[in-house]
Each structure stands twice: as C-alpha cells, then as structure tokens.
Structure 1
Amino acid sequence: MHELRLHQGAAAAGGWIWLFAGTGEGPPLAATLLNRGWRVRVSVVTAAAARAYRQHPNLDLQVGAIGSDAALEQQLQDLRPLWLVDATHPFALQISARLERVCTQREQPWLQLDRRDSSSAQFDPQVQPLQHLADLKMLALSDERLLLAIGARQLPQALAATPQCTHFARVLDQPGSLQAALACGLPDDHIACLRPSASAEGHLEEALCRRWGITRVLCRQGGGRSERLWRQVCQRLQLPLLLLCRPQAATGLPLALLLEKLGHP
C-alpha cells in the first residue's frame, strides 16, 4: 500500500480506534471519538478527503488504499486497535469485504456503520428506485437532460444504458474522477468537479441543475449526506430522482448504537 501520513499526534492515555471513512459521516464521527478521549486513526483514499478532517493531537490521518489482506493484517498487528470501524460508502464493497474478512480471521473487534437515514425509507413519488444500472434501458428517457451523480467509476455503464439522453456529470474534485468523465466522451462544459455541500443543503447543486436545464437526476442510495442532498434538491426543483439501490442489504449499527457500543476508552 502506498500511504501518506499527513499528521500524527503524540501518544495519549486512551486506546486506538481505526476508522475507515470518507468525507460524509467520517469527520463528525472522528471528532466525537476524539472528544471522548480515544486515539483515532482515520484511513481515507485521497488527500482531498483527508482535508475534511480537522487536525487534533490524537488524530492520525492515513491516505491511500489498502491493496491486500496482508497489508491490512500487518497494520492491525502494528497498531493493535481496540476497535476497527467501517464507515465507508455502501458501494465500497471491496474494502468492506476485506475489513470483515481480515477482522474475522484475526478476531479483531470490528463494527460497521449503517448509514441509512430514516427519511430514505419513506415513500416519495418523485423517487424511482433502480436495482441495477441496466434497468435504465427500460425507462422512457427520450430527450431527457440527465445528471449523473453516481461517481466516476459507474459512468460508462450509465451512459451506455441511456443513449437517448443528453448527459451531465457531477464528479468529485480529484484528477482521476475528471479523467474518467472525460474518457467517457462527456464535453468539458457538461462536467462539474465538486464535493457535496458541507451543509448538505445543496444550493450549489441546485444552481447547477438550473444552469444545465436538468430534467432528471441519477444518484446512488448511499444513505448519507450525498443522498440526502440530492433528495432535497430534487424536491425543491420538482425533478424526478432515479435512485440506484445499494448493492447489498444494509448491515451494521446506526450511529447512536455504534457510539454506545464503542463507549469511552
């Protein structure tokens, strides 16, 4: 694994929690754990994601993907955390499977955050769930101006399933995401590189929809800040929202129960 340590605090009295997360639930969860007296290592994939975390003397930020079970096992052996917490995106199947597999083998205490929002389970006539991107082929989407907010990795599948649409994409503000969107053939002025609004109110995203004349939005059922944001934007603009369902049933604990389980050091 190629990793970058951005800052590392001095030793503290509390034990270690190793948190795998992104920029949504990760920063407030890390802050809560630090306030309780834990030492926290946070693993994120990109340096841009690391900037969402405030510096703290007991926070260790690690940037880079863990590429193998052996790499994870070695770090667990070195750090010996009291808990490992998986707060990654529900679509991050590979890393979640690795965390569960290695922690089970090592008998490492491990918890997963269930990111589902109670509001996401409520019926909304503007929201149309999709089990797979291929289901887009069966929808009447002729001449739609479709905003793809599903991440760069799944753009090719979404584009292939909706050839009758004019496409626009919101991708994260990192070089790989922009390169992936351009490689799909999207025009420069049909791509916006930005992170979800910190307030989760979506005013920038709403302005983007107005500017592009968007008639329909496709996003993922992440259960976190990004899904809430697009639901709110589509409600305000009265836009249909296509919601790509999470690839597997939600597991783990809601935030309150997870924090109760972790307790204090």
Structure 2
Amino acid sequence: MQGRGNGQGRIWLLSGTGEGPPLAATLLRHGWRVEVSVVTPSAARAYAGLDLDRIAVGPLQGEEAIEAALKGGDVFRWVIDATHPFAVRISTDLARACAECRQPLLRLQRPLEHGGAVQLLNQIGDLAGIDLNGRRLLLALGGRHLPAVHSAAVAVGAEVYARCLPSADGLRAALAAGLPPDQLAVVRPLQGACAGAIERALCRRWRITDVICRQSGGVTERLWRGLSADLNLRLLMLRRPDSPAGVETVESEVSLMKRIQSPQRPCADG
C-alpha cells in the first residue's frame, strides 16, 4: 500500500463521471494521493466528498499544457487516462506529453460490448450508403456530433429526432443542428432502476425506427443495445476510435489496481 505522504504515491486521474468517481474512491482507499482533472463543473460535483489532493476543472489546452502540468510540481507515480473512448484529442495529447516527459501512463479503456444486431459505421459519411428514406432516426450521441449527423441523415431522407442534456453546451449543439423544437427532447437520463425509461418513452412517442449512437462501451451502449432489441429498432453505431499507439491499456478497475500495485516497473517510454 502506498503512503499518502509519499510523493511516489501520487496519481493524476483524467476522467468524467462514469468510471472516474468510483475509481478515485478505490485509489484513495488503497492509500494513493489522487489529483483529478475534469472538463465541466457538473462533472466535478460527482467527486464531492472524496479526499482528493486537488480537482481541476476545464479542458486541458493541448500537449504543452499537459507537459507543464507534469513538470510543474511533485512527480506522479502514474497518470491514468479514463476519459471517454471518443475523447481522441485529449488521449492523444496525453500520450505524447507523457512520452516526452517519460511519465508512466495507463489507459483505462471500456471493454467492447456485444449482443443485438448492430451496424457499425466507420465515419459519419457512411450514412450516405444506408437507406434512411422515410425512416425516423433518433440521434443518441454527443452534442458535438449532432450537426454533422443531422445534416448527413436529412440528406438521405431521414426524419431526424434527438435528445440532449440540459446544459449550455448541449443546447448550443442541438440548436446548431437545426432540429425543430418538437423533434428535440432536453432531458437528463435517469439512473439506477429507472435507467432507460426516458429513452424508451421517446422512442415510442416519436415512433422511432432507427437509432444512431457511439460504440462507447459502458452503460450507455448497453442501454441502446437492449432497447433496440426490445423495440425492434435498427441500431447504427459509430465505431470506436483506436487508443493512442504505445499506451499500456487495461479494461477494468480490478486490472488497473493490480497493475499500479505491481512491482513491475511502469513503462514510461510511450
């Protein structure tokens, strides 16, 4: 077990609200000192009550900013990248900066999900090859994808619907996509035993025939795989991007804890 006063027992965790808070709690229970970086204030609230060394809020401004953070204080024993599978830019910048600083980096990657009939798309442009004429398509993906996916789907004849989070960024992206007000739901997904209830109700209300989401793994992907099977929907899924080359990867919290407590020397050469 690492002592909380030991500089070599520090971890920098970059994550969101999915795996991040329970992982941070586990690290703290095992005696690690933990610094967390999240993008938004709402994500920071998910870490309330944890005895963190520090929590930083806001996007990291590129590779140079990460290098400055790595060089600017006490050393980290590990940097853990538990960001979203589609957060390609931050993962790439993090990999390059850690390699440059010879900082041990570990990527917590959600395992791939299986089950249900899924049509994978390599890119948004692949919608042009799918027959969506007269179909009712629900956009169930991140806000930054909404304008491009909406445009591509309308171009092939789909009637497009979407739901977005009740946040400034979510609403901004939905409005930029040009969705009519009666084809947009501003909702916060339910958790626990009620998870999926809002999405199921929207699919029925709008008579959805097709759903497009991301191959992000975790709770959200499992939700859409299950709903598509239950409601006989065609599920289209944007393929998950590859992790940065050369980064050591684990697929579970258990594997991560075993690795960081292993006597094996961390790999720091990228």
Specify which of 219, 234, 237 is matched with residue 240 of structure 1: 234
Match of 2:168 in 1: 175
Number of corresponding residues: 251
Pairing 1:107–2:67 present:
no
Aligned counterpart, 1:160: 151
Could you say which residue in structure 2 is the equivalent of 1:254? 251
CA shift, 1:249, in A, is 5.8
| Structure-2 separation of matches of 1:81 and 1:193 | 40
Q: Any residues of structure 2 matched to 1:19-168 within 5 Å, and which?
A: 19-77=13-71, 78-117=73-112, 120=113, 122=114, 124=116, 126-163=117-154, 164-168=157-161
1:188 aligns with 2:185: no
- Three-state SS of the structure 1 residue aligned to 2:56 is strand
Match of 1:207 among 201, 209, 217: 201
Segment of structure 1 superposing worse, 88-97 or 157-166: 157-166
Query: 2:144–2:173: 8 Å Cα contact kept in structure 1?
Result: yes
Q: Which runs of 4+ in 1 moved over 6 A?
A: none
Could you say if the C-alpha distance between residues 65 and 242 of structure 1 is closer, same or farther in structure 2, counting changes exceeding 3 Å?
same
Larger displacement relative to structure 2 (106-115 or 163-172): 163-172
Secondary structure of the residue that 2:55 maps to in structure 1? strand
The answer to whether the Cα contact below 8 Å between 1:38 and 1:58 also exists between their aligned partners in 2 is no
Deviates further, 162-171 or 52-61:
52-61
The DSSP-based 3-state class of the residue aligned with 2:250 is: coil
Question: How far does the alpha carbon of each residue in 1:12-55 deviate from its partner, in whole angstroms, 9 at most, with x for none?
Answer: 43522111111111122112112212121111111112222232
Question: Given the superposition, is the C-alpha separation of residues 49 and 76 from structure 1 closer, same or farther in structure 2, using an over 3 Å criterion?
Answer: same
Q: Is the 8 A contact 1:83 1:108 kept in 2?
A: yes
Taking the aligned partners of 2:131 and 2:258, their CA distance within structure 1 comes to 47
With 232-241 and 148-157 compared, the bigger mean Cα shift is at: 232-241
CA 1:58–1:247: 2 relative to 1, 3 Å: closer
Check the 8 A contact 1:34/1:59 in 2, yes or no.
no
Matches of 1:227 and 1:165, distance apart in 2: 22
State the secondary structure of the residue aligned to 1:168. Answer: strand
Aligned 8 A contact 2:148 2:177 in 1: no
Match of 1:228 among 222, 229, 237: 222
Moved more, 173-182 or 244-253: 244-253
Matched residues in 2 for 1:13 and 1:208: separation? 51
**TM-score, normalised via structure 2 length:** 0.85
| Structure 1: gaps of 5 or more residues | 1-10
CA distance in 2, matches of 1:80, 1:198: 37
Q: Distance in 1 between matches of 2:183 and 2:74?
A: 44
* Residue identity opposite 1:84 in structure 2: V
| Unmatched runs of 5 consecutive residues or more in structure 2 | 263-270
Q: Which residue of 1 aligns with 2:267?
A: none
State the match for 2:265 in structure 1: none
The residue identity in structure 2 corresponding to 1:131 is N
3-state SS in 2 of match to 1:58: coil
Taking a change above 3 Å as real, the CA distance of residues 72 and 195 of structure 1, as seen in their structure-2 partners, is farther
Q: In the alignment, is the contact (CA less than 8 A) between 2:151 and 2:177 conserved in 1?
A: no
CA contact (8 A) 2:165 2:188 kept: yes
Give the SS at the match of 1:153: helix
Shift of 1:113: 1.0
Looking at structure 1, the residues matched to 188 and 217 of structure 2 have their Cα atoms a distance apart, in angstroms, of: 16
